[in-house]
Structure 1
Amino acid sequence: MRRTLPASFALAALLAVSVTGCAVSRDQSTVGQYVDDTGITARVKARFAEDATVSAVAIRVETLRGVVQLSGFARSAAERVRAEALARATPGVAGVRNDIVVQP
């Protein structure tokens, strides 16, 4: 004998999915925004790799809702400033938070 789900159960399941959406993680918006942020991070890292003054290995890049956060260590204040400038000039970047520490 085949059992069917009540219509109210199906409606409740549909409502739960539509209300919660497709959140990637806590405080992350949607899957689309996550994909956009991942693309921004990749573009910033690529710019670092192409630039002779910025160490792409020593500086960490994370993006959330278009805001890029830079962290890690720089060899000089000039490298720190250059990394921020490269990030700001990257398409899709809404803002930059520069937490890079200059090593003495």
Structure 2
Amino acid sequence: MLNRPVLTLALSAALLATVGATTGCAVARDQQTAGSYIDDATLTTRVKAKFAADPTVSALAISVETLKGTVQLSGFAKSDAEKAVAGRLARETSGVVAVRNDIAVKP
């Protein structure tokens, strides 16, 4: 199994590749500018990288979407603590305007 730094680096590289591949996609009219779309994709990548580096948060079980600087978290957490840490990590990410924490805690 890969050690944590290698896994974090691999996940970060994959996320950056995804951002690079999707920046050429058309943006819906009246939704946001291409520059705003790239900024949001960068914020999503930063939040996911923080999740990957934190042993409390499952980066694979929690989805991150960003629109105009507002990060929306969804998916499933194993505990209230994991949900809280995910929200805190997202809020502490530079450039994030607001966080909607819609993560459900598994019973």
TM > 0.5 between the two? yes
Aligned to 2:87: 84
Letter in 2 for 1:103: K
- The 1:25/1:94 distance shift into structure 2, 3 A limit, reads same
Aligned residue pairs: how many?
82
In the alignment, structure 2 segments of 5+ residues that lack a partner are 1-25
Q: Identity rate of aligned residues, in percent?
A: 65
**What's 2:61 paired with?**
58
The CA deviation at 1:28 is 2.5
Counterpart CA distance in 2 for 1:42 and 1:79 is: 19
Structure of larger gyration radius: 1
Measured after TM superposition, the shift of residue 25 of structure 1 is: 1.6
RMSD of the alignment, in Å? 1.2
Which ranges of structure 1 fall in alignment gaps of 5 or more residues?
1-22
Which residue, 13, 33, 36 being the options, matches 1:33?
A: 36
Q: Which ranges of 4 or more aligned residues in structure 1 deviate by more than 3 Å?
A: none
